[in-house]
Each structure stands twice: as C-alpha cells, then as structure tokens.
A and B are shown apart, each in its own frame.
Chain A
C-alpha cells in the first residue's frame, strides 16, 4: 500500500508505489526477468526501477518515455541527477522496456486527475487506485507534453531524492557517524569530521536492503545544481554519425521486407486483386491480404480497412511489386465525400446547432449582443493535416512458436504490445516489444496500425519481416488533425470594449480547455456541435489547441481592429486579472519591439495561447510585396513554470513554430472521392530552410507548476502569422492554409 517496500514489489510482481510511484529495490540474485536485462554486470545493484547505480558509480536513469526528438530523456535525467546530487558526467539514461512494471503511472495521474495538486507524494489510497487504472489502460505513453511535468516532477525527482537519502543512511551506518554529518555531492559521500569519503556505489548494496523513504525531501529552486542548466543531450553524438538505430534500421538475419496499401477511402474492401504483375518481379516472395481490423485502445476504438502487402527480399522489389498490383477497391458511400461537401456539412450543422454542447456559458450573451454598438461575425476553417514524420511508418516483427517479437518506434509501447497481442490472439506476455528511436512522432505514432500489420505479415510468412510504408501510404493513411469550422460573433460597446463572445465550432476534441479564452469578457457562450466525417481522427501536435489557437487569437484580433485599437494593447487590457498571461504577452511585445514602426509592405502580428500548462506568446513579422509573402522573424516567449532544460525548451519552441508555420502556410490534406488527394512532399510541402524565419526564443521561469514544452509553441503561430498579414495588407485570412501567394 504505497510503501516503498521491495518486498511488496517482488512479492506481488508489480511495482509498488510510493509517492507517485515506483520505488523498487531488487536484491542481486533476486531480479525479475524483465528488470534483470538492465542489470548486466555482477557489481550492479538495482536500487529503484528508475535508478541504477553500478559498481563504477555510474547512475542510469530508466526513462519511461519514448524518444521522438524532444530530448525528454536528458531533461528527466537532469531532474533525477539533481535530487541525487550526482556528478552529471556519471549519469546515463535508457528507455524503459515495454513491460507492465514500467506503466507510466504518473502520466496516468496527470490525465485522470489533471487538477490534483498532490502536496505529498505519498497518498496510498490515491496511488493504489491509480496504479490499477494505469495498468488497465496499458499506459506507457509519450504525449500531452507530459514527460517533464508529470514523470519528471512526480517520479524522477522523488526517485533521486529517495535514493540519495538511502545512500546517506547507508554511509552513516557504515561509518557509524550521525546522518546529518553526511554530505552527498557529485556522486561522492563525505564525512568531513573524520575526513572520510567514498563514491555512492560503495553504499549501493547496503542501501538496497533498506526500505526507501516514503516522502523524501525535495530541493527548492535555489538548491538546484543541474536543473535549469544547459547540459548537452546524451543522444546527439549517435545522431550525427549515422550510428543511431531508428526502427527502420533494425536488421535481423534472414529478414524480408514488405510494403503495403490500404483502402484509399478508409472503408473500402478489395473487390478484385490481380497479383500476377507483382509476383513476376524478381525478389517478390509473397502477396498478402490483411483483413480489416478493429482496435480498441485507450484512445477509443478505431477500424482500419482491408489492405494488401507485398513481401520481398528487399524494399525495392516490394515497392515495385506494390506498384504492379491491380487492386479494385469497393465503392462505398464515402466515395461521394469531398472537402467541399465536408465544409458544407460543417456550415449546415453549425447553423442548425442541434444538441449543441457547452464549453462555457456565462453572462447573458443575447442581451449583450442586442446592446452592442457593433457586432462582428466571422467563420474560420482549417483543413485536415497529416503528420509526415521524417521516418515513414515501419515495424519489424518475428512471429514463431506462439510468440511475437517486435521492433517499432512508438509513443505508447505498452498499448502497442496489447493491440498486437489482441490482433494475433496472443497473451500480452507473449509479445515482446523493443521500442526504437523515432524519426518524429507528433502524435501519429500513438496509433498501432502499422505494428499490427507487421506482426500479421510476419505471422504469415514465417520469417522476420520489416514492414516499411511508402511515403504515399504515410500521407494517405494517416490519422489526421481534423478539419474544423468555427463561427464567431462578438459585441463591442461604443468605446470598443468587447462585451460579448459567442463561438460555435464543429467537433469537440481534447483537451477540453482548448477553445477557452483568457480574456475578461463578461458574457461568453462557447459551444460545439457534432459533425462527424469518415476521415480518421488522430492527435496532431497540440491536438485541439492547434486549430483553436488560430480561431480565438484571430477573432480577438478582429475585435481589436473593429475597435480601432492596437491588438497588443487590446489584449493586455483584457488580461489584467491574468498576470501570468499578461507577463508573457508583454515580454513578447517588448522583445519584438512591438511599437517600432515598420516600412510599408511589412506587418507584425501577435498571438497568445496557453496549452499543456505553459503560456506562449508569439510575434510574427512578415513582408508582403506584390502579393508575395515572406515570414521574416518570429519572437516566441514561453512560461513553462521552470525550464529544467532551457536549451531543450528553446529547441522545442523553435520546432513547434516551424511545425505550425508549415501547416499555416502550406498544410492541406484535401479529400476527393472519399480519399486523400496528396501523396508526398511535392504536394504536401514542408517548410524548408529558405522560407524559414529567424526565430528568437525567450524563457520566463515564473515558478508556476511546470508545464509542457513539446506542443505549446505550435498553437499561437498561425494566428500570429495571419494577424501580421492583416497588419501588412488589411487582408484577414480566415481559412488555412495561407499559401505564399496572397494576390
């Protein structure tokens, strides 16, 4: 029951929680099978699932998150090492294996009880329930910008502090001196009075026999040594010499390669298949049809349609084989669907407002609108978006003797393992999943379809198979950021003050608060109607914030324009009750020299949006000459509470800005005859170096609860861009993408 008792873990075979979790000590010679892989040398002692201290005094943090580029591993290790007072040069990290013991409970807590402020980490009754829930959900997810603020805050720091306390107690016992005379610094225990000192590892075995403390004392900000400091990411050397092993780089003896095609309309089935052409290509081994599959996961249930894979001695013959297949897909009702019909449907459903759900209802909006001197209204819309991770989807599988071994890069290893086990009809314990480096994730790699396909193909061919999707399949079989339409009305009094805010949009998606505004507007009515399409939905970097940030920050800009006021001052006046947001907005305006006049043809736009516990404001400068747009400069300010890894936060902001700019300028997945029209980077372009602006990032450490970094940079950028275009040209962009030709 929430005790950091090794006995409970070993006895029960599950991780016992202490605080928000995971205190595990394993005596050498009594290691569980899964954990023993991480204890390779005889001198190593497992103190804790998240901390390994070996005889060379090296500390290894076992990180229960997946690396898709965000550098979370390094920041998590910083949090652990700081509380442990370890020598940073003696700290390593590795990703936790996909076994139930590593279920990401603290993330479960953040999702299930997002508002819970847990004053002490030891709340046995809470933890017990959470551990059970997390295991049921097979939770080992990377997403929601949660690694640092949840696992780091509730897990790593506690783990580091607990281990340090145990080591100090062990040192005090060994030297027979009072505990408070033991100083832990740079991975060395010292007792000044007697002049004794020894590396942490000298006390590892004794500490491993102790019951870990239930609520170790954490440092205050002024005691931080490693948190908040720049440290080089651990994973970069392997990423500059080609030695980093991504999922697609896995090579197994006797391995075959496969590539695949699924129904373009997402629901069609195969009516006729002529395999002759494919089978006549040298190197092609087999053509395999996979039935449609229904998957239930913690993200809900989803279905993917029938598909056909070509298996060959290499990817190239497999790809040629795929191109040579003659597939006739069945026609369904969805064949009549296009982007135009989808947006018509949205407009109709918003107009009808049947079963409108409410996000916010305060004040009397109809009355305020009736009293308004000016009423403005506008419809906004955004298209579907694909993720296009640099590394096309892939997975490598071996299935034999009732067991499946899988190599994949994914954001949810335990969930993938469960889905693959279900699809094969195996018990989860008979699926071993090796999570590999991801060449991008952005939300796409939380859906297990590609891993299931690889396992099913491997089960049929009886040899190891690497399934590698074509880029075309990646673009056309995504789980997309949804297309959304949002309708606004606002009322302004005679002085231009905004007195009413009315907003109805289609399709509510997580997080709930994405559509809310921080501004002091007395009468607000924000709601949504359901308007489903057959296009598969998926989480896309920042999820609903990606479009809501564009909508609300564009329309507040319209209100400022209608009031004839400066858009920065207008926002600031409405944020007097929100000092954190106001400070971030002000900092962005100052850093961007908001009031410095720009020459003709240039414009500046500002935007503010909070997501995942962080507040971000961005200012964009553009030039529009003869209808040609260029984005010159972006100033981005974030308050993530405290930046554990400042350069990591800066990199995430830069990344979030470019990802969002790509979408705002070019991103459009359009639908024709029920299927996606785009197929590769030539028609679904990505921002390239020549079009990329200078990005200046600034961090405010306000001391607020730690927020996320991976996503919050994305939501404000589209509105900052279109507000800048408005400032330069007077043209208000209400539909994305913008394109680079504005004439």
Chain B
C-alpha cells in the first residue's frame, strides 16, 4: 500500500511501489494529462511537481514520492474554471501545436516561476532545457513565460506578425 497525495487528494494505492509515478497517474488514476514521451527522463513530457519541484514522473517510482505533495497538469490551475497565468499566456500567444509536450512544458515553467519570479533568458533556458517540443515552439514558450514574469522588454515576433500583412 502506497499513500499518494495528488492535486490535494490523498489516497492509498495497491500498486507495486517500484512502478513509475507516470503509469500510476495515467493508468490507475486516469490522469492522462501527464504524457509518456521517452521513458528515460530525456524529453520532459511527463513532468509533474513533487513538493514544488519539477520531476520526471517516468523514472520516479511511487515509493520515492509517497506522502509528498504531487501536482499534475490537472491540478495546476488555482481552481475549477480558472487557469494558471501560464496556461492563459499559452493560449494568448497560441503556443501549442500538437500539444502533446505542453503539459510538461507548463509544469517546468510553473516550477521555475514559483522559485524565480523574474527569470533571465539564461534562467529560462536552463529550466526548460529538459523539455523537448518536436513542433519547435520554443520561441513562443519563452515569450509566454516572459509575459507572465512581467518582463516586457522582449521581442514578441509572433505577435507583431499580423501587423505586417500585406495584400498583394
């Protein structure tokens, strides 16, 4: 029996304690927002928060996180029908394409801002380096993090685009 506290709900689970947290989330608890991408902590799609820190759930046995506060993408927003400011920024800047990696990207970004509300470019690069986006939306992800961090002196290239349209 392993005791897990996920998104504020504590429950006891009859699962092999060596099972990675990812599979317990996705298969036992149907919290499918956390994604499988590589199985070896290379891509970040499975990122969740454990005691506020970003953790790759695909290589984290549940025994290692028993009793700790776990947050998944489903629990990132402050309440029902609300969005975390990063989630709103992700929509405002039209960040996702396929969207598969974005749960992990958002969890990494949220952990960064929770510990450093005014990150530098280097801080952002470092915090996000573990998350792959095969659709290549890194520029938008970075800009979205900056809008939330209140850093206004960046080049919002994607936003400026519409103003440059010319009808030939």
Contact = CB atoms under 8 A, between A and B. Distances in A.
A67 B124 CA distance: 29
B136 interface: yes
A700 interface: yes
A230 B162 contact: yes
B32 A245 contact: yes
Contacts, number: 221
Interface string B36-50: 111110110100000
B136 to A, nearest CB: 3
Contact of B27 (A233, A314, A437, A681): A314
A614 interface: no
Contacts of A248: 32, 35-36
B150 interface: no
Contacts of B155: 694
Contacts of A239: 90, 96, 99, 102
Contacts of B23: 314-316
B153 to A, nearest CB: 14
Chain B interface size band reads 35 or more
A494 B167 CA distance: 42
Nearest to B155: A694
Contact of A316 (B19, B31, B164): B19
A307 B36 CA distance: 22
Contacts of B142: 689
B9 interface: no
Interface in B18-68: 19-20, 23, 26-28, 30-40, 42-43, 45
A211 to B, nearest CB: 35
A315 B25 CA distance: 12
A95 interface: no
Nearest to A583: B168
Contact of A655 (B31, B37, B135, B157): B135
A438 B135 CA distance: 12
Contact of A689 (B19, B73, B131, B157): B131
B99 A69 contact: yes
B106 interface: yes
A228 B72 CA distance: 37
B161 A699 contact: yes
A472 to B, nearest CB: 8
Given A241-B74, A242-B32, A390-B101, A680 B40 contact: yes
Interface stretch (A520-528, A644-652, A734-742): A644-652
B136 A659 contact: yes
Nearest to A649: B161
B76 A241 contact: yes
Contacts of A68: 98
B97 A651 contact: yes
Given A69-B98, A233-B94, A439-B100, A699 B134 contact: no
Given A390-B37, A651-B94, A692 B138 contact: yes
Contacts of B133: 390, 658
B158 A651 contact: yes
Contacts of B33: 241-243
Chain A interface size band reads 35 or more
Contacts of B90: 236, 239-240
Interface in A381-433: 388-392
A160 interface: no
Nearest to B73: A242
B132 A440 contact: no
A572 interface: no
B149 interface: no
B interface SS class: loop
B161 A646 contact: yes
B158 A647 contact: yes
Most buried by B among A222, A230, A236, A257: A236
Most buried by B among A235, A248, A257, A314: A314
Contacts of B141: 689
Contact of A680 (B38, B139, B164, B166): B38
A658 B101 contact: no
Contacts of A681: 38, 40, 42-43, 132
A655 B164 contact: no
Contacts of A697: 157-158, 161
B83 interface: yes
A70 interface: yes
Given A646-B165, A655-B137, A697-B161, A236 B96 contact: yes
A235 B90 CA distance: 12
B27 A700 contact: no
A239 B33 CA distance: 9
A390 B101 CA distance: 7
B36 A468 contact: yes
A242 B31 contact: yes
Interface in A239-268: 239-246, 248-249, 251, 257
Contacts of B165: 228, 643, 646, 699, 701
B91 A240 contact: yes
Given A439-B100, A680-B38, A654 B139 contact: yes
B77 A241 contact: yes
Contacts of A658: 133, 135-138
Given A241-B33, A242-B74, A315-B23, A389 B134 contact: yes
Contacts of A179: none
B79 to A, nearest CB: 12
Interface in A154-173: none
A702 interface: yes
B137 A650 contact: no
B140 A654 contact: yes
Nearest to B72: A242
A314 B30 CA distance: 12
Contacts of A190: none
Nearest to A439: B100
A282 interface: yes
A437 B99 contact: yes
B32 to A, nearest CB: 4
A228 B162 CA distance: 9
Contact of B136 (A228, A251, A257, A687): A687
Interface in B76-111: 76-77, 83, 87, 90-91, 94-103, 106
B13 interface: no
A468 to B, nearest CB: 7
A698 interface: yes
B168 A241 contact: no
Most buried by A among B36, B83, B135: B135
A688 B44 CA distance: 11
Contacts of A686: 43, 132, 134
B96 to A, nearest CB: 4
Interface in A301-341: 314-316, 319
Interface in A74-126: none
B150 to A, nearest CB: 20
Contacts of B39: 319, 470-471, 680
Contacts of A251: 30, 32
Closest CB pairs A-B (n = 7): A242-B33, A658-B136, A439-B100, A69-B98, A239-B99, A69-B97, A242-B73
Given A242-B33, A654-B158, A699-B161, 11 more contacts: A69-B98, A246-B100, A249-B26, A315-B23, A315-B27, A390-B134, A391-B35, A391-B100, A655-B136, A662-B136, A688-B132
10 contacts: A221-B167, A233-B94, A235-B99, A237-B91, A282-B16, A390-B134, A440-B134, A680-B39, A690-B125, A701-B168
